[in-house]
Amino acid sequence: MPKFKMPANLPDPIINENAKIVLKRRYQRKDTEGIVYETTKELFWRVASAIAEEETKYKESSTKASALARDFYELMTSYSFLPNSPTLMNAGTDLGQLAACFVLPVEDAIEDIFDAVKHAAMIHKSGGGTGFSFSRLRAKDSVVGSTGGVASGPLSFLKIFNCATEQIKQGGTRRGANMGILRVDHPDIMEFIKAKELDGELNNFNLSIGLTEVFMKAVEKKADFDLIAPESGKTVGKLNARDIFNLLVHKAWESGDPGIVFLDRINRDNPTPKLGEMESTNPCGEQPLLPYEACNLGSINLGKCYAKGKNGKSSEIDWDELKRIIHLSVRFLDNVIDASIYPLPQITETVEKNRKIGLGVMGWADLLYQLKVSYNSQTAVDLAERIMKFVRDEGRSASKALAAERGHFPTYVDSIFGEANLGPYRNATITTIAPTGTLSIIAGCSSGVEPLFALSFVRNVMDNDKLMESNPFFEEALREANAYSANLMEEIAKVGTIKKMEHLPEDLRAIFVTSMDIEPIWHLKMQAAFQKYTDNAVSKTVNLPANATKEDIWDIYWKAYEFGCKGVTVYRDGSKTSQVLCTGNSDKKKDEANAPKSIVQDRPDVIYGFTQKIATGLGVLFLTVNEMNGKPFEVFATIGKSGASVTAKAEAIGRLVSLALRSGVEVCEIVQQLKGIGGENQKFMKKYLVKSIPDAIAHVFESRYMKGEKTNGAVAALNKELCPDCGEALVFEEGCHICKSCAYTKCG
């Protein structure tokens, strides 16, 4: 319940249509029947009043609490700032867990490992994401002294964590997300790098390799590199550093996994080194934390800090408004620490010692559009540095003011600030650039510090209606240039970009760039610019075209190291669908024009086969496959307890697959078309994520008949990963698949 009575004259928030869907689905309170009973106005007041109530704990500011509640409400409903999702979901509720980022230790003992599984489940249930380092676990086949047996290694336990995550929805709305990190000097490093070779493996984990400067120097020298047993600290083997780095690059080229983090760089910025090393980050990599530490995040919408020129003055950033937002946001986030009910006492203790917050930004692309500055330009990079330095400096100023009012964070005397006499601060860290996939939909702005993914696109809405959407600043610029038309917007929506539309003004094409228009070097330069003045780290994806080479990725990884980034994630367009070539008769070149029409084989009276049971998100699928000469000849797909519509679709798919088989279509070609098709419900089955009925059939065919062969790059429209909630294509940015339509996110 709200802590303060809602003022009678409190204005209703203005909410865009996408935000209405997102808020209703994920944030507004529901009764036991799942019926929403909280209005959006009540939601924002619930959060504002609960966070402002924490002021009453401090004598100096207790009288300000009621007025501050309104300030917080207006800060959020103007979309100048929004806190992370758990705060919007849980503030002012009995659950009360408000932080997004957690790191848990995984010790080299069976009891501790399963304690970590249990603790992760508790965090996911409350809406948080978890990071783990598996570097303390002894290597596969190492002797376990207490039992005389052999260890199964980090990867086997990683799979246990993944399966546990699969069973728990995060905050009641989605499955939890995890980060799994292994040091590059661990004996099992090569196996860990290859952990996600099979599509669907470890689907609830992002993986990163913890690189060290010793390793990077060995790569540069093409030297051998020591592998260290974590239980003893002794060298137990050597590998050529280039071989490790080449495999990392190869796997990133194939699928984007694993990413890399630079552990030495992270720990140079560790504000409390006497409390221990930071060995892992949260799921998207922007928040390094100590074991049993949490952090709450929030983002300022830079698009709201644009000052349109008046009285002949040029357009620029409204620095006074940005300063006001920063100071109010730091106070908000510091209050969140006190308001939050953490799921474990160890976490409560560590958080109260360090009081870390993570204030970041979103709407960066929108601000650049308004300023008419191209994302891929030195002007934009220089401006990024200037803005983030301002956010950091004013954030620290706000934290110092809070320290004077309430006291500095308790471990301040053991921190790098104390040694350098820079404080005192209220918070051990203040700035983080976090993903804002959901928040940016609510705020109606571009996500984080990413470029826009498309200038215009068509959204499917209810009853198969199509709704054209476009960036408002782009649309305004088109109108100013007398270039706007409905036909043009439809043309742009097909490709998302205007880069090759030479009939449009050149300055428009230079300014309104999208993620795939931008050369990788500018993605990296932008990440490094924001990192320079960010206490924690920056969540950003370097987007690459489908034809990018492994050499391109090598260059990105190396430059990320040279530029001072704390980690990097790459994504080659389409690389999370199947990659390797289909072999066999289907590889033969055919003269399509002269090819004879397929002849459908007659069905014999008696034919034998097998029936396989597959759990899908729509019910249990019973797939009967009849064979001739060891090859599939026909299939029958039936699904129980799912209603007539689903049953009819399953039967139709079975008939069409049967027709294709009897017409001589190769198994790998059928798998190529069916594999990866997303459905409205997806279900994890042992080691495979069943995305739909067609995907289930593809999995059975691939497992039984292809014997290690893999499908060719399938038709793009079919192999696009789709949102399981609304069916729209997912976009990969900030380390996660994100649905721009309904805010579904999937990390891992």
Q: Is 612 helix (H, G, I), strand (E, B) or coil?
A: strand
Whole-angstrom distance, CA of residue 680 vs CA of residue 693: 11
Nearest to 286 by CA among 570, 556, 535: 535
Nearest to 317 by CA among 395, 390, 376: 390
Which residues on adjacent β-strands are paired with residue 119? Answer: none
User: The tokens of 23 are what?
Assistant: 């808020």
Mutual angle of helices 644-662 and 693-705, in 10-degree steps: 40
18 catalytic? Reply is no
Which residues on adjacent β-strands are paired with residue 301? Answer: 362
Distance of CA 183 to the CA centre of its chain: 22
- Tokens 């109530």 appear where? 53
Which position among 53, 201, 286, 734 bears the catalytic label? Answer: 286
Q: Are 207 and 259 in contact (CB under 8 A)?
A: yes
282 catalytic? Reply is yes
Whole-angstrom distance, CA of residue 493 vs CA of residue 745: 23
- Residue 50 is given by DSSP the state H
Which position among 18, 203, 206, 282 bears the catalytic label? Answer: 282
User: The tokens of 202 are what?
Assistant: 């470890």
726 catalytic? Reply is no
Whole-angstrom distance, CA of residue 675 vs CA of residue 524: 33
Residue 707: CB atoms within 10 Å: 7
Whole-angstrom distance, CA of residue 534 vs CA of residue 109: 36
Which position among 101, 284, 582, 742 bears the catalytic label? Answer: 284
Distance of CA 127 to the CA centre of its chain: 15
Whole-angstrom distance, CA of residue 421 vs CA of residue 408: 13
Residues 6 or more apart in contact with residue 708 via CB below 8 angstroms? none
Q: Report cis status (omega within 30 of 0) of the bond before 424.
A: yes
Report, as residue numbers or ranges, the catalytic residues. 282, 284, 286
